[in-house]
Amino acid sequence: MMRPRRLGWVVWVGLAGATTLLLLTLRGRLDKAHVVLVYLLLVLGGSAAGGRRLGLLLAGAAFLLFNWFFVPPYGTFAVADPFDWLVLIAFLIVSAVTAQMVHRLQGEAEAARRRADEVDSLAVHAEALREADRLKDALLASVSHDLRTPLTTIKALAHQLWDQGDERALAIVEEADRMNRLVADLLDLSRLKSGAMQVAVELTAVDDLVGAVVQRVSGALSGREFRVSLAEGGTLLVGRFDLVHALHILINLVENAHKYSPAGSPIELAVDVRADHLTFAVSDRGPGIAPAEQERIFEPFYRPPGTPPDVGGSGLGLTIARKLAEAQSGTLAYEPREGGGSRFLLSLPAAELPTAGEFP
């Protein structure tokens, strides 16, 4: 396929040929000055449209065409009248200078446009991005909220169909539940980004959190081994975090590990104390994450290349999990697991064990 730039050159060369044919039909009625002006216009237009190289090419071509067809004796490059050499040379010089001047003016104009664009961009771009982000969040929140009512209606009708013996109702319920989870994720993300998510940070025993995780994921793991280990020493670990949100994060991490791990490989949850923080490490033996993707997986709707299409989920889980961790003065990070696989590290503030009567 011919490139657009080369195609433009062909068009202008063709235009030079067509112009020459037109001038030939009028050769008996035209003065050399008329021909020179027409060819100069052609060089000027070609320079403006295709740049200096095209302009110089047209100047050279016009010089030869002018000499061959419009300077006696016709059909040769010989020149009968010595003054015609003056016309030819002057034409060639003026054409070349025209192409060069157009090129320089275009360069100056482009540089000026770039500077103006940069100034405008610095003044407007940041505000435009903020406004677009606000509109996006408002739209997501509005749409997500409005979807809940029809989804509830769809599920109710599907249950009626199921009661009537229609087995297709089960697929409807499953898809409605999937849409409901997506809506819930969108609402959570919107609340987190706007600061409207309620976070109740209080003293919480790690045993309570881990026990709730085990209870909630036991059915979803379909018999897969789930290993839990706590820091050695027998000391009751206590942290300052929101139990509901911390549970949400860990369930998301465990379910992700289940989705991406090969069948039969165990999932591990290890809890340790590092300085003044509790660290919850969820590890698997899945394919791991490429270095270039290790931060991008926390972006909304992002999925690493090669993600199976049947994995499911909204692509918001890790985004919400990280923001929930940050809302509790914690962090969520990824690191490759030695020997293959992934490890997600949830860090939440630790607390000293309260004395009797102080524990909530």
> Amino acid identity, residue 162?
W
Q: What are phi and psi of 329, to 5 degrees?
A: 65, 30
Please, is 75 exposed, middle or buried when counting C-beta atoms within 10 Å of its C-beta (0-12, 13-18, 19+)? Answer: exposed
pLDDT for res 284: 93
Strands (E), the chain: 202-205, 226-229, 238-241, 267-274, 277-283, 331-336, 342-351
In three state form, how does the secondary structure of 36-103 look? HHHHHHHHHHHHHHHCHHHHHHHHHHHHHHHHHHHCCCCCCCCCCCHHHHHHHHHHHHHHHHHHHHHH
Please, what is the end-to-end C-alpha distance for the chain in angstroms?
A: 74
Tell me, what's the pLDDT at 141? 60
Nearest to 313 by CA among 213, 217, 181: 181
> Average pLDDT by consecutive 10-residue portion of the chain (360 residues)?
60 80 81 78 77 78 80 83 74 75 76 79 68 64 63 76 77 76 74 79 92 89 88 78 93 91 90 89 91 88 68 76 92 92 94 57
How far, in Å, CA of 281 to CA of 347, rounded? Answer: 9
- Residue 346 pairs in a beta bridge with 280, 332
CB 239 within 8 A of CB 247: no
Burial call 105-138: b when 16+ CB within 10 Å, e when fewer? eeeeeeeeeeeeeeeeeeeeeeeeeeeeeeeebe
Phi-psi group of 275: left, alpha or beta (phi > 0 → left; psi -120 to 50 → alpha; rest → beta): left
Neighbours of 325 (CB within 10 A): 22
Residue with tokens 């709707």: 301
Dist CA 360 CA 346 (whole Å): 23
pTM recorded for the entire structure? 0.56
Task: Return the axis-axis angle of helices 32-50 and 4-25, rounded to nearest 10°.
Answer: 170
Cβ neighbours of residue 123 closer than 8 Å, sequence gap 6 or more:
none
pLDDT at 123: 67
Q: What share of the chain is helix, strand, coil (3-state, %, to 5)?
A: 60, 10, 25
> Which DSSP state fits 29?
G
Closest listed residue to residue 217, CA positions, set 261, 185, 251, 248 = 251
| Predicted pLDDT at 328 | 92
Q: Within its chain, how far is the Cα of 83 from the centroid?
A: 66
Q: How would you classify the pairing of strands 342-351 and 277-283?
A: antiparallel
**Could you count the other beta carbons within 10 Å of the beta carbon of residue 324?**
24
How far is 185 from 313, CA to CA, in rounded Å? 10
